[in-house]
Amino acid sequence: MGRPFFILLPHGTRMTLRERLQAWRYNYIPDHVIGEILSKRWADNAIPFLALVTVIAVFGTAIPGFFNPFSLLESTRQLGEFAIVVMGLTVVMLAGGIDLSVGSMFALSAFSSVAAFFIFHQPVGVAFLAALATGGLFGAVNGYLIGYMRLRAFLTTLVTLVIGRAIYDILVVNYGSVIQTSTASSDLWDFIGDGDIHGISVPVATAMVIAIIFHIALTRSRPGWHILAVGGSRRSAHNSGIRVRRTVFMSYVVSGLCAGLAGFLIACRLSGAGPGTGLNQEILAITAAVVGGNSLGGGRGSIAKAIMGAIIVLVMNNGLIRLGYGTGTNQMVLGIMLAAAVILDIRWLKNRHKVLNEVYVTPVYHRLGETLSAEPDSGSPYALNNRIANTEYIGLGELEGPEDVVLDRDDNLYCGTRHGEIVRFFAPDYKRSEVFAHTGGFPLGLAIDADGNIISCIGAMGLYSISPKGEVKQLSAETDRSYTSIVDDARLRDPNDLDIAPDGKIYFTDSTTRYDAHDWVIDSIENRATGRLLVYDPATGKTRTLLENYRYTNGVCMAHDGKSVFFAESWACRVHRYWLEGPKAGTAECVITDMPGYPDNINRASDGSYWMAWLGMRTPSFDLALRNPGFRKRMTRRLPQDEWLFPNINTGGVVKFNERGEIIETLGDMTGLSHPMVTSMREHKGYLYVGGILNNRIGRLKLDTSDNSWTGPNSYWGEKP
């Protein structure tokens, strides 16, 4: 599968050194990877990860014995507790809020479990539940005020922070001595405080478990998605039926429970409650969450970021103390880190798409071979004429964007439109029409299967089937994920045309993995070979990739004998044939090269040959631009898109070729008035129906030499039973 990525040079052409260097530079240095990485969500983790490595490296070398296993075991106990608090805070931040009261909840929960254990002599389990209940209750108060009463999160939690702190101080002053003189003890309590599981302390193990649960909940569960949706856009979340207030409420309860759990762990570790517990933890926790890369204002962030941030901040905080820097240094560094991280986050969020626009388009070198002329009267088989200039118009002004057209056994005509509909024109005069189905995407290629269902490649959505009653069903939206691709190439980004084999398998193309369907022209500027030929098997419901690395795979047509399938490679101006049976089964060969036009859909003709549409014509200027990738790169960065040099799509045409790839005839519209850009044509009972993706009509042309009873459905599936 796949072809080697080399420069195809037609025979007899020579390259200058400069051109050869350009070709190597742009075809072998994979700078498109930068754009693909930047478009990934995980790319946001790069800066926090670098900060993490730097902080650990700096303090690891500056502090003797930093990496000593025993020292690591002890120093990570605090990290476990802190990471749990930060994860809770991250959940709140993802939902678009903030929770400053984590330090107070942490302290109060610690006091609750200490009180339950030492004052009331309860078992460890009860102490644990007391801590969770305290944290959960406190969180519920925050959640009620902010979620249901819609108070401002920052100030409300600031005040509950002060209230919690005051209650804690009062409790410690009144009951501190009782706790200190208590004689209660328990092995379990001591194990949670001092023990380890294979060298991992209990707090760290707990934090790991919580991290896994939270990660799965946030990325793969409904409540997690709701939290992200509310943080991403509160109003949209509300409009799509998410219970925004309850989701916000729950996020604070989660934060409270996390602080409660962490409070229980520190209670076990310290076996007491002092005035310093949880003091100033809010600024530590916020800095950790933000430094890790979680966005203020919600919607963007992850548990991995929370953990990275927790490690960075705690290592730095404790490192500065162990290195003996005086009072205040920590606050100073924390202030700088918080400000820097927030600025970075806000600027990055604001400018990310600009950076991405700058670097994403990375043209490659491509040299098309010399072609025969398409000039009228040039005597070449490609010579254009005016034969499709005078067609009968169907649906003039009612249609927008009939990329493909298809006719059923009852002679009714179907086409897709830009508005996501499949429109049916009724035989015999095609004056009357109705919306046959609404797909929600832009229907491109169409075909009719043995049972009369219309199968369509719907742009940016996938392969769909529309029953004769107009019911839309998804057949496939993904293929295999390749291991080397950075962009998600399992998703069908630009499914373009299809045809159906006698056994019912559907062969179709996905034109590019780099751009969405509506950005197909940008793909032509980049000219990178990422197009694929895929097959959908209705028996298994799975889609497989057959061929990849073509420059915009487009039209697909099953050969008349059903043993091979033709497909067009638009930006290379070639047609290939993929063998399904016979000695060459599973391989592809090039049938037509170096055409003067960019091929689009291919369909059967009545005389055993094939019709092929040209969506546009090659021009010397764009051919030259393809040999100068540096020029195209500068063009995309410095000029607005309106002023870019694009392939010429003002003139197209229809070409007829036979099994051996020989050109039989060419039809054109030199006026450019009726059918400038042709993306599809379909023969039916002696007429040719012509469609164009940017046109506002379907053209109907009487063919002189054809069989007046030939229809597509009969050709594919035999006479009606």
Partner 1 sequence: MAGGSSHGFWSQERIVLALAVALFAVAAIFLPGFRDIGNLISIVHSVSVLGLLAVGMAIVIIGRGIDLSAVAIMAMSAAWYLQLLNDGWSEWQALGAAGAGVLVIGLVNGFLVAYAEVPAIFATLATGSFVFGFVRSRLITQDAVPVPPGNWLEQLGGFQPLGIPPEVFIFGGACFVAYLFLRFTKWGRYVYYMGDNLLAARNMGIPVRPMNLLRYVISAFIALAAGLLTASSLHSMNTRIVNSTLLYDIILVVVIGGIGLSGGKGGMRNVIVGAVLIGIMQNAMTIIDIPNLYQNLIKATILLIAIVIDSLVNPRDEQTAQQGDI
User: Which residues of this chain interact with partner 1, rule CB under 8 A?
Assistant: 96-98, 145, 149-156, 158-160, 162-163, 165-167, 169-170, 173, 233, 235, 280, 283, 286, 290, 295-298, 325-336, 338-339, 342-343, 346-347, 350
Least distance in angstroms from the C-beta of 260 to partner 1: 21
Least distance in angstroms from the C-beta of 172 to partner 1: 10
Q: Which helix (H) or strand (E) holds 39?
A: none
Least distance in angstroms from the C-beta of 298 to partner 1: 7
Closest CA to 671 of 649, 651, 693: 651
Residue 119 three-state SS: helix
Residue 532 tokens, joined: 């694929």
Q: For partner 1, which is the closer residue by CB, 23 or 291? A: 291
Least distance in angstroms from the C-beta of 246 to partner 1: 18
Residue 659 tokens, joined: 């099994």
Least distance in angstroms from the C-beta of 100 to partner 1: 9
Least distance in angstroms from the C-beta of 167 to partner 1: 6
Closest CA to 81 of 263, 320, 282: 263
Closest CA to 99 of 151, 144, 157: 157
Least distance in angstroms from the C-beta of 94 to partner 1: 13
Separation of alpha carbons 668 and 380, rounded Å: 14
Nearest 10 degrees: Cα torsion 292, 486, 491, 510: 150
Closest CA to 511 of 572, 553, 569: 553
For residue 599, report the phi and psi dihedrals to the nearest 5 degrees. Answer: -75, 150
**Residues whose CB falls within 8 Å of the CB of residue 27, separated by 6 or more in sequence, listed in order:** 5, 7, 364, 365
Separation of alpha carbons 32 and 26, rounded Å: 10
Least distance in angstroms from the C-beta of 269 to partner 1: 24
**First CA to last CA distance, the chain:** 40
For residue 626, report the phi and psi dihedrals to the nearest 5 degrees. Answer: -65, -25
Q: For partner 1, which is the closer residue by CB, 97 or 616? A: 97
Separation of alpha carbons 562 and 132, rounded Å: 68
Q: For partner 1, which is the closer residue by CB, 42 or 148? A: 148
Least distance in angstroms from the C-beta of 96 to partner 1: 7
Residue 484 three-state SS: coil
Q: For partner 1, which is the closer residue by CB, 326 or 582? A: 326
Q: For partner 1, which is the closer residue by CB, 11 or 350? A: 350
Q: For partner 1, which is the closer residue by CB, 89 or 407? A: 89
- Judge contact between 454 and 463, C-beta under 8 A: no
DSSP string, 653-698: EEEEE-TT--EEEEEE-TTSSS-SS--EEEEETTEEEEE-TT-S-E
**Eight-state DSSP code of residue 183:** -
Least distance in angstroms from the C-beta of 261 to partner 1: 25
Q: For partner 1, which is the closer residue by CB, 283 or 472? A: 283
Residue 108 tokens, joined: 């109060």
Q: For partner 1, which is the closer residue by CB, 316 or 461? A: 316
Q: For partner 1, which is the closer residue by CB, 159 or 486? A: 159
Separation of alpha carbons 59 and 323, rounded Å: 9
Least distance in angstroms from the C-beta of 291 to partner 1: 11
Q: For partner 1, which is the closer residue by CB, 129 or 228? A: 228
Q: For partner 1, which is the closer residue by CB, 95 or 681? A: 95
